[in-house]
């Protein structure tokens, strides 16, 4: 662990995140990943949408774009194509990236745009006050599912695998060293990389579903982590909902890593690059 405060916009404190929220751990892990790769902070661009996770961009001392709800991958695509020398990282959440912005995420993956997407999945909309998300487990309580969620959830990694993302990984916010390692792998992967970070929302999800505070939620995630590395044996939803049946596990690690052509837009091919 190094001192990563040089990457933090301390002048922008205090931050907007709630006590017990793991998003700060994610940001720290990202700073570690930047340092481990010896990246020039002037050349790192963090592109975010709207939501709790997206607010991380404001506190990171890089070139930061806090865009519109769900559209971060589209902003990032334009940015990367216009400035290929930038390391472009999208920070998004499960509502931002999988509901309103699912299309943009899918198509950035399909095109194999050379960006990294960190999707912080806390299974709920935090910023707007605890509404159900596409990853809210069936039966879970949210402010818009007071009787329990009746909609089916889906697995973000499944979606991205289907969209032909060339690097897909999942990690728990409770395992920051592993998280940094996967961020480094994702960012150094040539092509589109997607990392689902299973995070917590003690303020809404935890409170509504009696899943405990931040520490309890993150600890329970750790216990459920089977630590399955590639190839993926099985992957399921993280289920915070207390239940009499044993909670399903969540597979972490790299779920896919493949080499395929990177799309840089229709442009004149520079022979020096090949």
Of the pair 70, 137, the CB lying nearest another protein is at 70
According to the binding rule CB under 8 A, does residue 20 interact with another protein? Answer: no
The upper half-sphere exposure of residue 155, i.e. CA atoms within 13 Å in the direction of its Cβ, equals 18
Closest by CA position to 225, among listed 253, 191, 201, 254:
253
Give the one residue of 29, 53, 64, 175 binding another protein; rule: CB under 8 A: 64
Phi, psi of 56 (to 5 degrees): -55, -35
- Residue bearing tokens 């997407």: 117
> For the purposes of burial, counting CB atoms within 10 Å of the CB of 96, is it exposed (0-12), middle (13-18) or buried (19 or more)?
buried
Give the one residue of 21, 31, 34, 62 binding another protein; rule: CB under 8 A: 62
Of the pair 16, 215, the CB lying nearest another protein is at 16
According to the binding rule CB under 8 A, does residue 264 interact with another protein? Answer: yes
Positive or negative, the Cα torsion across 179, 119, 17, 144?
Answer: negative
Q: What is the DSSP string of 37-103?
A: TT--GGGEEEEE-SSTGGGHHHHBSSEEEE-STT-HHHHHHHHHHH-TTSEEEEEEEHHIIIIITHH
Structure token pair of residue 86: 């930038």
Residue 108 C-beta: closest distance to another protein, Å: 9
Residue 49 C-beta: closest distance to another protein, Å: 10
Of the pair 184, 264, the CB lying nearest another protein is at 264
CA gap 32, 38 in Å, rounded: 10
CA gap 7, 138 in Å, rounded: 39
According to the binding rule CB under 8 A, does residue 163 interact with another protein? Answer: no
Interacting span for another protein (CB under 8 A) from 31-39, 76-84, 137-145, 198-206: 76-84
Of the pair 128, 185, the CB lying nearest another protein is at 128
Give the one residue of 1, 147, 152, 266 binding another protein; rule: CB under 8 A: 266
Interacting span for another protein (CB under 8 A) from 28-36, 103-111, 177-185, 195-203: 103-111
Residues touching another protein, count (CB under 8 A): 40
According to the binding rule CB under 8 A, does residue 42 interact with another protein? Answer: yes
Interacting span for another protein (CB under 8 A) from 122-130, 153-161, 171-179, 259-267: 259-267
Residues that bind another protein (CB under 8 A): 9, 11-12, 41-43, 45, 47, 57-58, 61-68, 71, 74-83, 85-86, 103-104, 106-107, 264-268
């Amino acid at each position: 662990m190094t001192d990563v405060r040089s990457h933090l916009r301390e002048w922008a404190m205090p931050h907007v995140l709630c006590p017990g929220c793991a998003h700060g751990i994610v940001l720290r892990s990202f700073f570690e990943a930047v340092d481990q790769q010896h990246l020039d902070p002037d050349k790192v661009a963090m592109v975010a949408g709207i939501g709790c996770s997206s607010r991380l961009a404001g506190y990171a001392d890089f070139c930061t774009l806090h865009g519109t709800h769900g559209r971060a991958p589209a902003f990032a695509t334009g940015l990367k194509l216009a400035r290929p020398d930038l390391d472009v990282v999208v920070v998004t959440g499960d509502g931002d990236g999988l509901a309103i912005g699912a299309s943009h995420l899918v198509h950035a993956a399909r095109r194999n745009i050379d960006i990294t997407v960190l999707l912080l999945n806390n299974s709920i909309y935090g910023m707007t006050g605890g509404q159900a998300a596409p990853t809210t487990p069936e039966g879970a309580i949210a402010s818009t599912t007071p009787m329990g969620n009746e909609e089916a959830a889906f697995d973000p990694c499944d979606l991205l695998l289907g969209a032909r993302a060339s690097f897909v990984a999942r990690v728990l916010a409770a395992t920051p060293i592993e998280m940094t390692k996967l961020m480094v792998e994702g960012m150094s992967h040539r092509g589109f990389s997607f990392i689902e970070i299973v995070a917590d929302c003690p303020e809404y999800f935890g409170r509504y579903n009696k899943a405990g505070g931040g520490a309890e939620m993150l600890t329970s995630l750790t216990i459920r982590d089977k630590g399955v590395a590639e190839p993926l044996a099985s992957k399921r939803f993280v289920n915070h909902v207390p239940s009499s049946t044993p909670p399903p596990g969540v597979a972490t690690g790299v779920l896919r890593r493949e080499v395929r052509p990177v799309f840089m837009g229709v442009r004149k091919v520079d022979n020096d690059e090949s």
